[in-house]
Chains A and B, each alone.
Chain A
Amino acid sequence: MKKASLFLIPITLFVLLSVFLYKGLYGDPRQLDSTVLNKPAPNFALPDLMQPDVIYDPSIFAGQVTLMNVWGVWCVTCAVELPYLTELSQQGVRIIGLYYDQDTDPDFGIKSIPTIQKEVAAKLAQLGNPYEFNVFDVKRDYSLDLGVTGAPETFLIDKQGVIRMHHIGDINTRVWRTKIAPLYNELIAQ
Chain B
Amino acid sequence: MPDIQIRKKLTSVEEIFHEGGPLATTPLRRAAALVVIHNPFAGAYIKDIAGFMDDLRPLGLEMARSLVAVLGGDPGIVEGYGKGAIIGSAGELEHGALWHVPGGYAMREILGDAKAIVSSTKKVGGPGARLDVPITHINASYVRSHFDAMEVGLADAPRADEILLALVMTTGPRVHARVGGLKASDIKGEDGLR
Are A and B subunits of one complex? no
Could you list which residues of chain A lie within 8 angstroms of chain B, going by C-beta atoms? none
Could you list which residues of chain B lie within 8 angstroms of chain A, going by C-beta atoms? none
